[in-house]
């Protein structure tokens, strides 16, 4: 099974060749899906390195900061400072607010302190987000740990049944990683076209969506900014668009949102493919 998994962002490197679709859902438009939407009323959890609330890119949209304390017997979710250990969480939050300026961001910091129990902290943070009923969660990390497989599987199912959309950066290497490769999760890799709303649907999962993730201008630590490349900068673009859709159409289930994204994706269609063949 392992060798069938796609490498990094391969399908999105040449969409004309790899992502041509002759059949797709019809009748849905971007205008219907998120035209005029601002993300208002949607809470997006950032499971990452924390959020620097005062960073200008976050435009004051952070409503809560929590972290997972793993010093005791059981991981415990506690209040956290308004800081980011690496800058990465703030980068993701900035991308989401850039697309959906009225979302409410919730920082769930699972990185930065003790590495032991990292997987358990990640799972506890994700569980908290689902129990809180957050509409969208952006995940930049995944676990390869076999022992955590059933826990993440259960959490992915719970999120799905509670209408929490889990948007996860696909891992770089063609190997199993959880929860990014579970079918109910929005698994995202990077494409190189500099447009925050340019989306591709990959009909050959496990990586289902491609979004901008190359040379993306991002917010970084201590009020800074930089330019970055990685799947973990593609995922928040999808999270932001999902937040827009859910603010305009509250209560849609993850599978409905996925269907909308696939339907309005920028994959070349039948006509484009004909033109393409005509030229060659």
Partner 1 sequence: MDKETEAALAALVAAARRSGVGRRLQGDIETRLLQSIVDATVRLFDAEAASIALFEQDPDRLEFRVAAGEQGAGAIGLTVPPTQGIVGFVYSTGQALSLSDVANDPRFNRGAAEQTGYVPRSIAAAPLLSEEGTEGVLQVLDKRGSPTFSLQDMELLGVFAGQATVAIAAARVQRGTERLLRTALTQIGPDLADDDVERIVATATADLDVDDEAPFWRLVDQVARLRALSDREIALVTDVLDVVAQHASRARRSRPGR
Of residues 104 through 123, those in contact with partner 1 by CB under 8 A are: 111-113, 115, 118
Q: Which is nearer to partner 1, 130 or 214 (CB)?
A: 214
- C-alpha to C-alpha distance for 202 and 210, rounded to whole angstroms: 7
Q: Which stretch binds partner 1 (CB under 8 A): 36-44, 67-75, 188-196, 200-208?
A: 188-196
Of residues 125 through 144, those in contact with partner 1 by CB under 8 A are: 140-142, 144
Edge-to-edge strands, sheet with 62-69: 76-79, 62-69, 104-109, 43-48, 136-139, 165-169, 186-191, 209-212, 200-201
Determine the length of the chain. Answer: 280
Minimum gap (Å) between residue 44 Cβ and partner 1: 18
Of residues 41 through 60, those in contact with partner 1 by CB under 8 A are: 49
154 binds partner 1 (CB under 8 A): no
Token pair for 193? 């076209």
Question: Distance from CA of residue 134 to its chain's centroid?
Answer: 14
8 binds partner 1 (CB under 8 A): yes
x/- letters, 213..232, toward partner 1 (CB under 8 A): -xx----xxxxxxxxxxxxx
3 within 8 A of 241, measured Cβ to Cβ = no
H/E run at residue 109: strand 104-109
Site of interaction with partner 1 (CB under 8 A): 7-10, 12-13, 49, 85-86, 88, 111-113, 115, 118, 140-142, 144-145, 169, 171-173, 175, 177, 190-192, 214-215, 220-233
């Amino acid at each position: 099974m392992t060798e069938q998994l796609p490498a990094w962002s391969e399908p999105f490197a040449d969409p004309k060749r790899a992502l041509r679709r002759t059949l797709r859902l019809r009748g849905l438009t971007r205008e219907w899906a998120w035209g005029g939407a601002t993300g208002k009323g949607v809470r997006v959890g950032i499971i990452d390195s924390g959020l620097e609330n005062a960073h200008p890119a976050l435009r004051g949209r952070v409503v809560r900061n929590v972290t997972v304390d793993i010093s005791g017997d059981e991981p415990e979710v506690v209040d956290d400072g308004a800081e980011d250990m690496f800058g990465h969480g703030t980068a993701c939050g900035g991308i989401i607010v850039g697309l959906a300026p009225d979302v409410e961001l919730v920082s769930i910091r699972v990185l930065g302190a003790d590495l032991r129990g990292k997987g358990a902290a990640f799972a506890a943070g994700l569980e908290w987000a689902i129990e809180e009923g957050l509409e969208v969660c952006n995940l930049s990390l995944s676990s390869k740990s076999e022992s955590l497989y059933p826990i993440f599987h259960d959490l992915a199912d719970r999120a799905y049944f509670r209408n929490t959309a889990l948007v996860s950066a696909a891992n770089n290497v063609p190997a199993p990683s959880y929860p990014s490769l579970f079918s109910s999760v929005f698994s995202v890799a990077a494409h190189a076209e500099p447009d925050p709303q340019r989306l591709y649907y990959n009909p050959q999962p496990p990586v289902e969506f491609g979004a901008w993730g190359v040379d993306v201008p991002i917010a970084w630590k201590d009020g800074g900014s930089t330019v970055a490349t990685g799947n973990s900068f593609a995922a928040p673009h999808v999270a932001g668009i999902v937040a827009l859709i859910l603010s305009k159409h509250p209560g849609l289930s993850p599978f409905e949102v996925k269907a909308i994204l696939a339907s309005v994706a920028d994959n070349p269609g039948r006509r484009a493919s004909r033109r393409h063949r005509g030229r060659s």
